[in-house]
Amino acid sequence: MDEIRLIIASDSVGETAELVTKACTSQFNQLGNALETIRLPYIETPENIDEVIAIAREQRSIVIYTLVRPDIRKYMKEQLEQYGLKHVDIMGPLMAELTNELNESPLNEPGVVHKLDEDYFKKIEAIEFAVKYDDGRDPRGLPKADIVLIGVSRTSKTPLSQYLAHKRFKVMNVPLVPEVDPPDQLFEIDAAKCIALKIDPTKLNAIRKARLTQLGLNDDANYAQDRRILEELEYFEKIVSRIGCPVIDVSNKAIEETANEIIKIITTNNRYDY
């Protein structure tokens, strides 16, 4: 079947819409790998909505949104209908019914449910940190991170960063590529908060070929060649040996399993207050 793309847009972090979406999509076995979901948080202005619409039009996505402010929600609906995009408004209909039933205007404040939740703010801070410092974008994040993940491409660094962020850890991930020297700061920070993600070359080859196919590219590209993979893994071992950090083999582990192992290592080594 053709790939189904979903965009989750929210004026907060999008947890509500994502939970509803997961509950719905889990009821359809045939979706499998044909489902692609992206979450776009903090949609607060017409300009933000225009960006959502542009992505939805380009990818022919279904837009699922939770927008509290009526003016922003109205603009979203108008733009979606103007371009004939499929969409689901999760909060709007119920808020309208409650307004009529209670004869009371809603607060129209995004994120009220989490307003006084200190743990929630820690989580959001960690999520924003993971996004800002994803893929080694800014080495200045290394000293600030609770956890630094290093590994070659397709070792689940980004998904792990997001998963751990939801556990309130500030995570930065750094890709290791032979042609690009890692930032100097990587060798200056405490090695105890670094985790190297190791993977079996055969497993990595299969993952990369599947990724190339998913992107509509030829699976015999250099990116998925055995020679290239062995070169990258040899470089990985060289960097890890220099840092002297713990190593986790992610070859046959689920994200949750790897994340739990990382948390155990970090809390033991750093006495992190988790």
Q: List residues bridging with 180 in a β-sheet.
A: 177
156 is in an annotated binding site: yes
Tokens at 218, concatenated? 């030829």
Q: Is 14 annotated as a binding residue?
A: no
Is position 13 annotated in a ligand binding site?
A: no
Any binding-site annotation on 153? yes
Contacts of 40 (CB under 8 A, 6+ apart): 7, 8, 9, 10, 14, 48, 51, 52, 55
State the DSSP string of the chain: ---EEEEEEESS--HHHHHHHHHHHTT-TTTGGGEEEEEE----SHHHHHHHHHHHHHHTPEEEEE--SHHHHHHHHHHHHHTT--EEESSHHHHHHHHHHHT------TTGGGTT-HHHHHHHHHHHHHHHTGGG--GGGTTT-SEEEEESTTSSHHHHHHHHHTTT--EEEEE-BTTBPPPGGGGTS-GGGEEEEE--HHHHHHHHHHHHHHTT--TTSGGG-HHHHHHHHHHHHHHHHHHT--EEE-TT--HHHHHHHHHHHHHHHH----
45 annotated to a ligand binding site: no
Question: Is there a binding annotation on residue 161?
Answer: no
User: Do the annotations mark residue 157 as ligand-binding?
Assistant: yes
User: Which residue numbers belong to the known binding site?
Assistant: 151-158
User: Which residue numbers belong to the known binding site for ADP?
Assistant: 151-158
